[in-house]
Structure 1
Amino acid sequence: MGNYGDQARQALLDSAEELFATFGVDGVSNRRIAEHAGNANHSAVSYHFGGREELVRAMLTRYADETRRRRGQLVAMLGPEPSLRDVLSCLVLPFTDQLASMPVPSWRARFLRQLRAVPSMVDVVTGATVEDTYIDDLIKRARVCVAHIPDGVLTGRSWLLGKLVVDACADYEARLQREAVEPDWTGFARFLVDAAAGMLEAPVTCEGDFLGSRTVSAWP
C-alpha cells in the first residue's frame, strides 16, 4: 500500500478518468476532479501534478509498463512468420486485457475517446507516447503481411484502425455499465482483430491521401 501522497494521486487519476469520460476533457474543472476524489484541497491537481496537461500525461502513461509487459509476452509466442491476425492480436490484446482487468464500470476507453476529440491535447498525447519497440516491430511485421497495399493507403488505414479500436472499446465499456451482460473482452478482442485484418487486407480502388499526416499514435 502506498503512502498518502500516492493514494491521493491515484484517487485523482481515477476521478479525472471517470469525469473526463463522462463530460469531456474540457467540461471538467480541476476543482471538480478534486471534489469527486474526496479531496478537500481544491488545488490538489496542481499540487500533485502541476497542472491539467501534466495530469493528462500521468493518466496516459499510468498503465504503460503493464501494457508493454503483456505485449512482450504475446510477441514472445509469435512464430518466425506470423499471420496478420497474430500480429494484430499483439497490438489489440494488451489494451483489451487492460480493460478486462478493471472493475465494471471502467472509464478508460471512454476517456481515451474523449481525449482524441480535443485538438489542444494532440501535442500532449504525442509527448506522452511511451517508447515501445514492440509496437514498432509489430507494425513492420504487419506491413510485410500486406506488402501489396500502398504505403499511403496503409498509413491511413492504420490510423483508422486505432480509432476503431478505441471507439469500439468505449462503446462496449459503456454497454457493460448500461446492461447486465457478462464481460467478454477476450471474445471482443477477437472480433476487433477480425475487423482490423479485414480492413488492412481490403482491395484498394483509390490511393489518394485523404487523411493527411496523423500525429496521434494509432494504437492506445
Structure 2
Amino acid sequence: MATGASGAGKECAGMSRHSEKAREALMDAAEELFAVHGIDGVSNRRITEHAGTANHSAIKYHFGTRDDLLNALIRRAITEVSRFRAGLAVSEDRDGGLREVVTHRVLPWIYYLSDQPAPYCRAQFLYQVRGYPGLSNIGTELLSGDELQADLVGRTRAELEGIPASVIRARAGILGYMTLGICAEFERQVADGAREATWDELGYFLVDAIVGMVAAPSTAKSDFLDFGDPPFG
C-alpha cells in the first residue's frame, strides 16, 4: 500500500511539473508574440501553436481568460523584479538620498530585462501592455505590502520637499512611460544586432536622467498634469 501511495505521489508530482512547464511555455510564447504584434493582434490559437502545443484550449485550461493570461505575465515580471530589488543594498542610515531611491526603482527592472534569453521581448511586451485596461494598477497592488518599497517611497517625498505632490506624481507618470519606451527601443536594437546588450550602462543613464528630471524646480502656475501611477511600480 505504501509503495502504491508513493508511486501515485511521484506520478502527481510529475504531472504537476509537466503542467507548470506547459504553463511557462504558453507565457513565454504569449509574451514574445504580444511584444511584436500587440495584445489584440494575436489569437489564443496562435499562442498555443507558437508554444508547441496542439491543444488550442490550453490557455483557457491553464489561465482562464485573455486578461487572466496578461495578469499572469505581469505578476511574473513583478515577482522577478521584486527579487532583484531585494538583492540591492540600502543605506541603513537613510542617507542614500534621491539617487538611491531612484536606483532601487529603476535598476531591478533593468536587471530583469537583461536576464532573458533570445528572443528579446520583455520590454517591448511591457510597452505594449502599459495602457491595457485593467492592468494599470497591478504593480501598485503587488508592491503595496513591500516594506522596503514603502520606505523608499517615503524617502522620495522627503528628498523632494517643496515640490507639490501632484507635480511629483505627474513627473513619475511621464518618466515611467518614457523609461519603458527607451527600454523597448534598446531591446529592439539588441535583438536586431544593432547594439551590444550593455544594459548596465542604460540603467545608470536612466538613473541619472530621472534624478535630474524629478528633482527639477517646479515653476508651473498650476498643477494640471496627472498621468496616474507610473506603470508597474
Structure 2 length as normaliser, TM-score? Answer: 0.85
Deviations 1:187-215 (A, max 9, x none): 1100000110111111222053333362x
Query: In the alignment, which residue of structure 2 is the partner of 1:158?
Result: 172
1:81 is aligned to 2:109: no
Counterpart secondary structure, 1:103 = coil
Query: In the alignment, which residue of structure 2 is the partner of 1:142?
Result: 156
Aligned equivalent of 1:22, options 36, 60, 71: 36
Counterpart secondary structure, 1:62 = helix
CA 1:207–1:141 in structure 2 vs 1: closer, same or farther (change >3 Å)?
farther
Checking the alignment, whether the CA contact within 8 Å between 2:78 and 2:232 is kept in structure 1 is no
Checking the alignment, whether the CA contact within 8 Å between 1:85 and 1:197 is kept in structure 2 is yes
Task: Give the CA deviation at 1:146.
Answer: 1.4
Count of aligned pairs: 216
Structure showing greater Rg? 2
Question: What does residue range 52-91 of structure 1 map to in structure 2 within 5 Å?
Answer: 52-77=66-91, 79-91=93-105
What is the aligned-residue RMSD (CA, Å)?
A: 2.0
1:103 is aligned to 2:114: no
Task: Give the CA deviation at 1:124.
Answer: 3.1
CA 1:63–1:113 in structure 2 vs 1: closer, same or farther (change >3 Å)?
closer
Gaps in structure 2 of 5+ consecutive residues: 1-13
Structure 1 length as normaliser, TM-score? Answer: 0.89
CA 1:127–1:201 in structure 2 vs 1: closer, same or farther (change >3 Å)?
closer
Deviations 1:128-172 (A, max 9, x none): 641333332212211211112111111100111211221111111
In structure 2, distance between residues paired with 1:78 and 1:112: 33
Aligned equivalent of 1:188, options 192, 202, 206: 202
Query: In the alignment, which residue of structure 1 is the partner of 2:215?
Result: 201
Checking the alignment, whether the CA contact within 8 Å between 2:174 and 2:227 is kept in structure 1 is no
Checking the alignment, whether the CA contact within 8 Å between 2:31 and 2:122 is kept in structure 1 is yes
Query: In the alignment, which residue of structure 2 is the partner of 1:124?
Result: 135
Identity rate of aligned residues, in percent?
40
Residue type at the aligned position of 1:44: A
CA 1:184–1:213 in structure 2 vs 1: closer, same or farther (change >3 Å)?
closer
Deviations 1:14-56 (A, max 9, x none): 0110111111111111111111111101111101101101101
1:114 is aligned to 2:125: no
Checking the alignment, whether the CA contact within 8 Å between 1:75 and 1:134 is kept in structure 2 is no
Checking the alignment, whether the CA contact within 8 Å between 2:124 and 2:184 is kept in structure 1 is yes
Residue type at the aligned position of 2:129: L
Query: In the alignment, which residue of structure 1 is the partner of 2:8?
Result: none
Aligned equivalent of 2:45, options 31, 36, 54: 31
Checking the alignment, whether the CA contact within 8 Å between 2:29 and 2:50 is kept in structure 1 is yes
In structure 1, distance between residues paired with 2:47 and 2:232: 27
